[in-house]
Amino acid sequence: MAKYTREDILRIVEEENVKYIRLQFTDILGTIKNVEIPISQLEKALDNKMMFDGSSIEGFVRIEESDMYLYPDLDTFVIFPWTAEKGKVARFICDVYNADGTPFEGCPRYNLKRVLKEMEALGFTDFNLGPEPEFFLFKLDEKGEPTLELNDKGGYFDLAPTDLGENCRRDIVLELEEMGFEIEASHHEVAPGQHEIDFKYANAIKACDDIQTFKLVVKTVARKHGLHATFMPKPLFGVNGSGMHCNLSLFKNGENAFFDPNGELQLSDTARHFIAGVLKHAPNFTAVTNPTVNSYKRLVPGYEAPCYVAWSARNRSPLIRIPASRGMSTRIEVRSVDPAANPYLAMAVLLAAGLDGIKNKLTPPAPVDRNIYVMTKEERLAEGIVDLPATLAQALENLKSDEVIVSALGKHLFEHFVEAKEIEWDMFRTAVHQWEREQYMTLY
Ligand code: GLU
Ligand code: MG
């Protein structure tokens, strides 16, 4: 059921003295875009008449077809907790439509809805996501530019006084709560300067909207504390990087379809098929879940990030872990995803991979309960454990070879994503890095 009607919105903005409306959407690379309109334009926006120039958005459309429309999703209406001088600011998250009134294929949010329809055709009602985004806080310099200086020496679950980021994190949590987030946990992560805030799971669209809002709030509040928050996957060599573990489950009419009290590990066949599908396609969807050059510096042994394709109900080195809770909270935790991923695209490919497992009744390999980091390549091969791609270039080649994943993105998103990412890889490949000079300058 819809949360707000048009009349509710008009009444609330009046009562709350909202003066500006932000219409938000996400581009292919996962960046939030935002058009701010004065309240006088609200009715026009609610009539889906807000036009923008799609050709100025990365990977959207060419100049010739540039008129696009934003259709606000009324349920995403939120008033920001901060007040502008002349009144409050509220926002809607929007889907992007073509001038002829058809949904725009290149809109990541719309695309996820399209894949969700495929799930519904198989009889499931919800795809739920509980994300665990991690991030680093770095100090800002006098000019307001981020430095590489951390503001604490804390470690996992540490408390002040080592954790100076704690005040900042607490403010972030308060602000998120004011915006309606249900925060489940907030703690220092393993690396100095690294934090994690977990919020309650929701259906995939809402959870992705929440991730986008979350990143915006974290960055805004950090700045007020003289800090720069980054979701870059591996900002520092030699310590943990930042992941965004995704807890996933399928529901059927309010029942968790992954739970079977009589199944092995109390997992249903549906859960097993889903796991098998995710494992099968993992090397090929990694370009989407780990979309930057830097993402692959995180997926290396020894830093709690997965680099091999396996699953386990016990330890944390595999790609998929099954957290201990059962019943309604039965879920799989996909540990490879990083917070640089466009969440809508990441969910589309994960869901498509899992559904492929369900449709084809795929069986997962046996769970691996050993620490995979310490196994030799031969031992891994003997257990059928393959590697995740080691570079963005490899990941893109894999992506192109997988029809299931390509069709989860749709033609437009697939082509524009690959094009943008190949340029990114090429820029990295041809740049001369500091590491090379350190290695070779005096040697040769
Ligand atoms: N930071 C680790 C990663 O890169 C995860 C740590 C954890 O288990 O929460 O995925
Ligand atoms: Mg964590």
Nearest-CA residue for ligand 1 atom 8 is 304
CB of residue 316 inside a 6 A radius of ligand 1: yes
199 known ligand binder: yes
Which amino acid makes up residue 282? A
For 168-183, write each residue's pLDDT tens digit: 999 999 999 999 999 9
Spatial distance between the Cα atoms of 363 and 372, rounded to a whole number of angstroms:
21
Q: Are 389 and 297 in contact (CB under 8 A)?
A: no
Q: Are 92 and 218 in contact (CB under 8 A)?
A: no
For 271-320, write each residue's pLDDT tens digit: 999 999 999 999 999 999 999 999 999 999 999 999 999 999 887 788 99
Res. 81 pLDDT band, cuts 50 70 90: confident
43 known ligand binder: no
Res. 2 pLDDT band, cuts 50 70 90: confident
* Residue 159 scores a pLDDT above 80: no
* Residue 208 scores a pLDDT above 60: yes
What pLDDT, on a 0 to 100 scale, did the predictor assign at position 192? 86
Give the ranges where 307-342 is alpha helix by DSSP (H).
none
Lowest pLDDT segment from 8-12, 38-42, 85-89, 415-419: 85-89
CB of residue 305 inside a 6 A radius of ligand 1: yes
- 310 alpha carbon – ligand 2 mean position (Å): 19
What pLDDT, on a 0 to 100 scale, did the predictor assign at position 413? 96
What's the rounded mean pLDDT across residues 81-94? Answer: 87
* Residue 162 scores a pLDDT above 70: no
Buried b (16+ CB within 10 A) or exposed e, 359-392: eeebebeebbeeebeebeeeebeeeebeebbebb
Res. 370 pLDDT band, cuts 50 70 90: confident
Strands of 340-433 (E only): list them.
386-387
Spatial distance between the Cα atoms of 402 and 405, rounded to a whole number of angstroms:
6
Bond from prior residue into 161 cis (ω within 30 degrees of 0)? yes
What pLDDT, on a 0 to 100 scale, did the predictor assign at position 158? 62
Give the ranges where 360-402 is alpha helix by DSSP (H).
377-382, 392-400
- 222 alpha carbon – ligand 1 mean position (Å): 21
252 known ligand binder: no
Q: Are 29 and 420 in contact (CB under 8 A)?
A: yes
134 is catalytic: yes
53 is catalytic: yes
Spatial distance between the Cα atoms of 329 and 20, rounded to a whole number of angstroms:
39
132 is catalytic: yes
Q: Are 223 and 140 in contact (CB under 8 A)?
A: yes
Spatial distance between the Cα atoms of 351 and 298, rounded to a whole number of angstroms:
23
What pLDDT, on a 0 to 100 scale, did the predictor assign at position 315? 79
The pair of structure tokens assigned to 167 is 């005040």
Nearest-CA residue for ligand 1 atom 1 is 242
228 is catalytic: no
Spatial distance between the Cα atoms of 221 and 290, rounded to a whole number of angstroms:
26
**By three-state DSSP, how is residue 129 classified?**
strand
Q: What is the DSSP letter of 227?
A: E
What pLDDT, on a 0 to 100 scale, did the predictor assign at position 155? 66
- 430 alpha carbon – ligand 1 mean position (Å): 30
For 317-363, write each residue's pLDDT tens digit: 889 999 999 999 999 999 999 999 999 999 999 999 999 999 999 99
What's the rounded mean pLDDT across residues 190-207? Answer: 93
Please report the atom of ligand 1 found closest to the CA of residue 233.
4
Spatial distance between the Cα atoms of 444 and 437, rounded to a whole number of angstroms:
10
Spatial distance between the Cα atoms of 338 and 317, rounded to a whole number of angstroms:
15
Burial of 48 (0-12, 13-18, 19+ CB in 10 A): middle
Lowest pLDDT segment from 44-48, 59-63, 394-398, 403-407: 59-63
Q: Which of 424, 413, 428 is nearest to 57 (CA)?
A: 413
- 190 alpha carbon – ligand 1 mean position (Å): 8
Percent over 90 (pLDDT), the chain: 82
Spatial distance between the Cα atoms of 140 and 429, rounded to a whole number of angstroms:
29
Domains and CATH numbers, the chain: 6-104 (3.10.20.70), 114-434 (3.30.590.10)
Spatial distance between the Cα atoms of 302 and 336, rounded to a whole number of angstroms:
14
What pLDDT, on a 0 to 100 scale, did the predictor assign at position 52? 87
255 known ligand binder: no
379 is catalytic: no
* Residue 46 scores a pLDDT above 70: yes
